[in-house]
Amino acid sequence: MTTDQPKTSRKLRVVDVLRFVFVLALPFSLFLIAGRWNWWQAWVYILVSMLASLISRQLVIKKHPDLLFERAKFTSHEGVPSWDRYLVYLVVYLPMLILIVAALDLRYGWSEKGSLAAHLIGLIMILIGSALASWAFYTNQFFSSITRIQKDRGHYVIDQGPYALMRHPGYAGGFISMIALPIFTGSVWAWIPCAMGMIAILLRTYLEDRFLQKELPGYSDYAGRVKFRIIPGIW
């Protein structure tokens, strides 16, 4: 073990503690913003998100134990493109902004109450998006939280599982879940941060794909075989 490893491990423990505190604080903050506790969409979304995160993390720990270590280092990695040091925060935090706007909408009654059918369609989309992102997370041992070529981990092209259908299934899952949030919450105003998030995901997908074609051996051939980035048949 090098002298840097204990320091890095301590930093990762701090990150895990902060993440745990944030996961606990987010539900309470949403209900405080909404001014009520009986917001069932928020309870369901929080439950689905926590279960998806917990189950996928436990599966990944068994299959790729070093992947969580890789993801926890986030933007502290070297070799990260300058554009991703900014885009990553938009992709990560804009879904939370969608929920905050939806909570404000609920509190002040900006939008008319949505139908149960619309809520259920949104929920189904969230489940599909979460399942697709979790499948990509489990399949790809290089599923980092940041764009970089992981030479230290023997990075190579993954073309199995959902990666046989599209080149960026993780982003596809996030894209579906993001579109689902305004539908599920019934907030018209939530479409504003949602549109911002959709643009951020599409832009990051485009830039990351271009980066990988240039820097990762074999990726250009893979892109020739699997034509679509996140929307099969379209893009």
How much is the mean pLDDT over the chain? 89
d(CA 185, CA 190) in angstroms, rounded, equals 8
Backbone angles phi and psi of 142, in degrees to 5: -110, 25
d(CA 206, CA 229) in angstroms, rounded, equals 8
pLDDT at residue number 54: 85
Three-state secondary structure call for residue 234: coil
pLDDT at residue number 3: 47
In the predicted model, is pLDDT for residue 98 greater than 70? yes
Nearest one of 231, 21, 60, 213 to 145, comparing CA atoms: 60
Fold assignment, 4-225: Four Helix Bundle (Hemerythrin (Met), subunit A) (1.20.120)
* Type of residue found at 113: K
Q: Which range has the worst mean pLDDT, 54-58, 74-78, 201-205, 220-224?
A: 74-78
d(CA 9, CA 69) in angstroms, rounded, equals 9
In the predicted model, is pLDDT for residue 19 greater than 70? no
Name the percent of the chain lying above pLDDT 70: 89
* Cα torsion angle, 33, 34, 38, 40, sign: negative
